[in-house]
Amino acid sequence: MTKKVISTDKAPAAVGPYSQAIKTGNLLFVSGQIPINPATNTITGDIQSQTRQVLDNLRAVLAAGGGSLSDIVKTTVFLKSLNDFSTMNEVYRQYFIDSPPARSTVEVAGIPKGALVEIEAIAIVKT
């Protein structure tokens, strides 16, 4: 199987030596997205607005790889504080209304650029 690097300017560029996503066969592995607004290259707002931006970034990378949020089978959510779990869930459920993907959520000591939330995903897309 070959692997293809997926990249789009509709989501923030990688902040390190990694790809926004890798597609191999019908699997799309999306790197952790943080709430950088790709138009301004800034992070602003509370956990609600940051979660929205992360999910919008995730949607953009998925689209570049031929997929959508409904193609996601697994996400991992990294939170700076588990105190934000309920608020993050309020936003998250608006993006995954039917058949939400499997998910893990963990609290971490830090997220790049001082973000409050980061989400990575695995999706099954058309080849």
Name which CATH class applies to 4-124: alpha beta
Residue boundaries of the structural domains of the chain = 4-124
Q: Over the stretch 31-63, which tens digit does the pLDDT of each residue have?
A: 999 999 999 999 999 999 999 999 999 999 999
User: Does residue 127 surpass a pLDDT of 90?
Assistant: no
pTM here?
0.97
What are 82-85's contacts with CB under 8 Å, separation 24+? 82/107, 84/47, 84/116, 84/117
Phi and psi at 125, nearest 5°, equal -125, 170
> 3-state class of 86 per DSSP?
helix
Can you give the C-alpha Rg of the chain in angstroms?
Answer: 14
Phi and psi at 45, nearest 5°, equal 90, 180
